[in-house]
Structures are given as C-alpha cells and as structure tokens.
Amino acid sequence: MSDMLSMNHLVLQEMAEENAKYTGQETVVEAYSCPQDERIARAALIKRVRIRIAGCGGAGSNTIDRLMQSRVDGADLLAINTDAQHLNMIKSKAKLLIGRRRTKGEGAGGFPKIGEEAALEEVNKIRELLRGSDIAFITCGLGGGTGTGSAPIVARAAKETGATVFTIVTLPFKSEGTERMNNAIGGLEKLIRYSDTILAIPNDKIVAESPSRNVNEAFNFADSVLAETIKGLTELITKTGVVNIDYADVSNILKIGRTAVVGIGESDDDKDKVLSAVKNAINFPLIDADISTARGCLVSVIGGDEITVKEFERALAEIQSRIHPDAMVKWGCRVEPGMNGKIKVMTLLVGVKSPFSVNTPEDIRNIERIVGDMRGTSDIDFIR
C-alpha cells in the first residue's frame, strides 16, 4: 500500500511539474486520497484548456510584455515582431522574429504588405507554436505594418490548428491620419475571415474620459486596457473559483454571435459596492453598445473572504436585468485574498448591437465612417 501511495505521489509530482511549465506557478503536491484520484488527475491534465495569446507587431508585443508583468494565469504568451530591437526588450514565454529575409530585423516600415510577407516566411513556425490551442487570443494595434500585416496570418494559422480564435485589436488614434486608418480597415477585412469573435476598439474611445493625456500616456493607457481585458478573459476560464466557468461555457457563448464587448469594474463603495462595480463594468472604456440586446453573457464576480452569497447573487441579478431576458448566462464566482473589501465584476457580452460590430464587410465600412466622423476633436496631437 505504501509503495502504491509513493508511486501515486511521483505521478502527481510529474503532473505538477508539467503544469508549472504551462502556468509558471508551482503546485503543492499531496498524496492522493483514493486510488481513483490518479485517473482523475490525469484526465484533468489532459483536458486542461490550453490558451495561447499572440501579440503581433509593436503594440501587440507591448500587450504581451504587460501580461508577463501582471502574471496572467494559465496561458502561453507569444510575441511576434519584425523589429528585432523592440522584440529583444519584450518579456514573453516565447518570441518569434519574423521576416529575417524580408526585413532583416529592422521592422516593416509601416507597410502591412511587408508585415504579411514577413509572417508568411515563418508561417510553419507560427502554426507549430499555436498547435494544440483550444483558444487563441490574437492581439495587435491596427494601422501599422507588422501588426496589421501579420495578425491575419497568425489568426489563420490558429484557425487551421482547430483553435477558437478571439481577436482583440485597437484602431488608430484619429490624429494619426488617413493612411493608418486605411491600413487598419484593410487589416480588419482580412481578420474577419479567420476570427470567431472580434473586438475592435478605437484608441480614442479608450482615452475619451481623459483627453488631456500626453502621447506616451495615451499609448500606454491603451496598451494597459488591452492587457487587462485579455488577462481578465483568460483567468475567467483558467482560475478555479467557488463556481467555475469552463471552456464549454465559453465556447457555447462565443457561438451565439461574432460581436462581443467586455466590461471590467470594481468598487469598494461603502454604500453599494455591488451596484457600483456593475456600473463600472458596464461603463468600461471598451463597451460602446446596447447591451440590452445581448444574447450571451459570461459574468465573473470576485471578492475577498468577507464577500457574501447575497452580494454574488446581487451582482448577477443586476447584470441579468440589463440584458435580453432570454440570454444564455454563465457565471462564476471567486474568492481571492487581498481584495481588501473590494468587489470586481467582469462581463463578456455577445450578440450585442454596437457601432463597432465586426460581422460583415459592411460593418467595417461603418466603423470607417464612425471613426472618420470622430476626427478633428482630439486633444492628442501627433507629429509625423
């Protein structure tokens, strides 16, 4: 019996080490409580949802760097760029310099065609790095050369490996000019072919609440919001809670509609922190939609040890009251130390009506018109 327990412990240790390679976190290993635990543990390891996040170009690589700093749980990170100097400064679990022959590591010069050709040079490596993914997040800032040109190639490669592809991109600041916006629209037209769900956010929307930011602050804030969104979506699936949201829940919700919006809010308001957190989530910079039409919703509520069942239920009820009455709702709740009396609410709403919906080429033309109408009101100036 002792030999069996010893062997089981070794097997569990082996799986814990494998899990540490994937998550970057150590696992405390304890002996199995019963003979069936080994088979259950092995099944859990085999069926673990594999999430990969690929950041393309300068902005996408910056997002990967931020995710490394914030220690996103349960995802492999991949930074892809043509600029060797920039890529060298990025921290990531994996990096890929594309276009060695085409760009010689000097970047794409703002030309999406060069970014595309660079990615095609390494498409087999890209496919291999993404192989085995259940969900692939593809992120970049559209408008430049590498991100705009390579992201559709990366999305296609992920799709070819069988992954659910969730693309999250930003659109150029209005002051960046017509050329970059035309590049961005061209990139969106290609991305729509290979993405199950697309979230396209104008940078101006992100910084609208604080238009006096200088250039560096504006770009850094846009990068940070993008990273926070991807981290939240990833940990919605990978972190264990009191009530869990699993891959099947996410997959079923994403199939409801291509257009999604994400909201993240938290509050420690003594009067009504639940309502305040929900309102902050709904007013998140990435939400610009009529959420009453949402037909699918993932909700995650996070609090400290002091959070009550009533508060969990209140947050869920508040979200449900604002979306379509027949919407499919999947929810999870998690207790985390260090919340210090705060409640955090995260929502993924699918099937909403938004001016930034990306379902058809006509939607892309609509986005182009909207962003065009926004031009001329920015307090952020760019010198080219």
Q: What HEC string does 164-221 produce?
A: EEEEEEEECCHHHCHHHHHHHHHHHHHHCCCCCEEEEEEHHHHCCCCCCCCHHHHHHH
| Residue 377, pLDDT score | 46
Domain ranges of the chain: 2-46, 51-234+356-374, 260-350
Cβ-contact 345, 287 below 8 angstroms: no
Q: Cα–Cα distance between 344 and 264 in angstroms, integer? A: 7
Query: In Å, how far are 298, 360, 372 from 364, measured between CA atoms?
Result: 26, 7, 12
Helix extents (H) in the chain: 2-23, 36-46, 57-70, 84-89, 100-103, 112-121, 123-130, 146-160, 178-191, 203-206, 215-238, 247-254, 273-282, 309-320, 361-374
| Residue 167, pLDDT score | 92
| Residue 43, pLDDT score | 52
Domains 51-234+356-374 and 260-350 fall in the same CATH topology: no
| Residue 99, pLDDT score | 95
| Residue 367, pLDDT score | 67
End-to-end alpha carbon distance in the chain:
74
Low pLDDT (below 50) residues in the chain: 1-12, 15, 22-23, 27-29, 45-46, 374-384
Q: What is the DSSP letter of 353?
A: B
| Residue 198, pLDDT score | 83
Nearest to 105 by CA among 128, 90, 87, 123: 87
pLDDT digits (tens, 9 = 90+) for 204-261: 777 776 667 776 777 777 778 788 888 888 888 888 777 778 778 888 887 787 777 8
Class (C level, CATH) for 260-350? alpha beta
pTM of the model: 0.80
Cβ-contact 324, 293 below 8 angstroms: yes
| Residue 223, pLDDT score | 78
Instruction: Tell me the CB-side half-sphere exposure of residue 181, using CA atoms within 13 A.
Output: 22
Q: Cα–Cα distance between 170 and 217 in angstroms, integer? A: 16
Class (C level, CATH) for 51-234+356-374? alpha beta
| Residue 4, pLDDT score | 41
pLDDT digits (tens, 9 = 90+) for 101-118: 999 999 999 999 999 999
Which residues, in sequence order, are bridge partners of residue 164?
135
| Residue 384, pLDDT score | 31
Cβ-contact 308, 350 below 8 angstroms: no
Q: Is 115 exposed, middle or buried (0-12, 13-18, 19+ CB in 10 A)?
A: buried
Q: At what angle do helices 146-160 and 178-191 cross, to 10 degrees?
A: 0
| Residue 80, pLDDT score | 98
Q: Cα–Cα distance between 346 and 281 in angstroms, integer? A: 6
